[in-house]
Structure 1
Amino acid sequence: MEEWARSTAGRLLADLPRRWAHSKGVGHKAEEVALALEPVDRPVLIAAAWLHDIGYAGAVRASGLHQLDGARYLAGLGVAGRVCGLVAHHSGAASVAALVGLGPQLAEFPDERGPVRDALWYCDLTTSPDGLPVSLRTRIVELCARRGPDDLVVRALADNGAERAGAVRRTESLLLSVHFRQNGEAEHGRPAG
């Protein structure tokens, strides 16, 4: 699934080089972050990370809400429901959907709450449009400057900024705890990992 997700995103986003650069950065970061998750969750996160922005592609765009468009496209291909739900709800999509009257349509997909969802949001919100790692604060400042105060995504930040920050904070805590657990085990003669 992971290789299919990577190649599908690459094909769909080929005409959007900056969006593809961002998606590659998110996908690569997810491949690293996934190691902190349960094994069953790892391919789900990685696939969702690679596919999260395919709704921007001309062949996929329908409603104009890229999260919803991407999820519907994937569901139409028979992609696992968890992946579709994560794509649908990534990085606070519900707040934007409410602003444009697409809340009921977005609700077609379950909003998985927990470490996998948090990790996807973390990967997206700490990756620049060019695919480079950035802090959440830097990403939000860049997003606001690029899109302007009247943009729906910027307006949605007033509603879900704390939720976005919480997802990033929880994932950073998870990564830190895994790092310390692995290093502590290695220091005491037990295998790390």
Structure 2
Amino acid sequence: MYVTMDEETVGWAAGVAETELGLALPRRWAHSQGVAARAVELGNILGEDSDLLVAAATLHDVGYAARLALTGFHPLDGARFLRDEHGADDRLVRLVANHSFALLEAEERGLRDVLEAEFPLLDDQRLVDALVYCDMTTTPDGEVTSVEARLTEITTRYGADSLVGRFIRRAAPDIVAAVGRVEAALAAQPR
């Protein structure tokens, strides 16, 4: 099914994510819902791309679903699922594949060339930054948090010397910079 970015797509994304994560991974589903709620808050700075961001935010962790975890790298597994089983919009799939500096984690896993070849990073920095902001300011339980607290939580949960711990340490400056750019854009909005 080919989807266009509109409210219907946002509903479709929520249905897919809930089906894949809701019962099996309720905490991951709560996080995804929180990330999507953060995305809704960015509507004024993204304009016509706001529905795309909400859909990507809702689906960004769908690759954690056990039946989809073919490589064990959730951005790649989720993007392949959305492309292959749903014929999802290319920009949506590429956002899911590359969320929160996934290329750096892909490099740690020996999958960077695969990720880059199948799902090139979008050129639209504000969309990329917006998804980083939404993901990295939302706790695993779907609550709002600071980027610093989120980075600490991830490092603590996985361990500083784990693959994810190494990735987060490498990605932290880029994550903080992306969140800062979105916060600056939000602050520049008229009140």
Matches within 5 A, 1:96-107: 96-107=105-116
Q: Calculate percent identity across the aligned residue pairs.
A: 42
Query: In the alignment, what sits opposite 1:191?
Result: none
Q: How many residues align?
A: 179
In the alignment, structure 2 segments of 5+ residues that lack a partner are 1-8
Deviation of 1:38 after TM superposition, in Å, equals: 2.5
Look up the equivalent residue of 1:111 and give its one-letter code: L
In the alignment, structure 1 segments of 5+ residues that lack a partner are 184-193
Query: In the alignment, what sits opposite 1:148?
Result: 159
What is the CA RMSD across the aligned residues, in angstroms? Answer: 1.0
Look up the equivalent residue of 2:131 and give its one-letter code: L
CA distance in 2, matches of 1:48, 1:60: 17
Query: In the alignment, what sits opposite 1:112?
Result: 122
**Rg: which structure is higher?**
1
Q: Is the 8 A contact 2:151 2:172 kept in 1?
A: no
CA distance in 2, matches of 1:157, 1:111: 19
Query: In the alignment, what sits opposite 1:84?
Result: 93
CA distance in 2, matches of 1:97, 1:22: 22
Runs of 4+ in 1 over 4 A off after TM superposition: none
Q: Is the 8 A contact 2:35 2:135 kept in 1?
A: yes
TM-score (norm 1): 0.90
Q: Is 1:167 matched up with 2:167? A: no
1:119-143 deviation digits (Å, cap 9, x = unpaired): 1010000000000000000101111
Look up the equivalent residue of 1:173 and give its one-letter code: A
CA distance in 1, matches of 2:35, 2:44: 15
Deviation of 1:43 after TM superposition, in Å, equals: 1.3
CA distance in 1, matches of 2:108, 2:95: 20
